[in-house]
A and B are shown apart, each in its own frame.
Chain A
């Protein structure tokens, strides 16, 4: 184990801002993409229901 305390781990030898700024941004962007993609799939499924509803109504 490289670190003896959480403080030491977060400090990252003085480079904490750069290391956590990197990991934080990467995680934020990836979680956002995953959420947006899930939303897109759900919206696509919901839109199918609408289209089907319109078609049935116009028969």
Chain B
């Protein structure tokens, strides 16, 4: 089989490839998770100011990063599917949404539990927290809208419009700590300067990010396979599978 740029745009080929890859993603998620948690709890030192409460960072930051990344990926594939009438792209966008919403929830929840002992409050309507909460509403809105429309193509296209409009929120979340006076602290990691963070803490955080990324791929690919079977049930290759 010659591999081309759009080889896996065919739902049948995506279904087969995804099925082969998913176990590897689970394996990677497990390995990175164990490594990340080991470094985070056994090796990274206690924080001078926050004590051991800071260890929430090892899931809070990776979850927040995934919540933003998944939304941008979702918006990209939704737009691609809409503009090129590419079914697999639209199906993939729908597969991403629940996982993105889940990570947004985890970021908000762990943030609240971190904020209570350190800031003295579970919640504050500062720029970052508010825009992350809006991200959760965008995910839920996308899911509700696409589930409400029966015809898959119209559902996907309506969802794509909503996803694109909501995409402006992601840079707002990212730059909020720079643009506004926020309770949430500014970035400790940047592309241009050295990290303002102990290297073992940073290592644990990065390992957990890879863990969440591998987990996302495993879950999203599985969901995408289910969606392919649901939406392509009329095709010959799917009927052949069922026999």
Contact = CB atoms under 8 A, between A and B. Distances in A.
The bracket for how many chain B residues form the interface is 35 or more
B229 A38 contact: no
B106 A25 contact: yes
Nearest to B95: A37
A19 B91 CA distance: 36
B51 A18 contact: no
B52 A22 contact: no
B116 A18 contact: yes
B219 A2 contact: no
A49 B242 contact: yes
B217 interface: no
The bracket for how many chain A residues form the interface is 20 to 34
Interface in A12-59: 12-15, 18-19, 21-23, 25-26, 29-30, 33-34, 37-38, 40-41, 43-45, 47-49, 51-52
A15 B51 contact: yes
A52 B239 CA distance: 7
Interface of B: 41-46, 51-53, 55-56, 59-60, 63, 98-99, 102, 105-106, 109-110, 113-114, 116-117, 215, 218-219, 222-223, 225-227, 229-230, 233, 238-239, 241-243
Given A19-B53, A34-B219, 20 more contacts: A2-B41, A2-B46, A12-B55, A22-B60, A22-B109, A22-B110, A23-B56, A26-B63, A26-B106, A26-B109, A29-B102, A30-B106, A33-B102, A41-B222, A44-B226, A44-B229, A45-B229, A47-B230, A47-B233, A52-B242
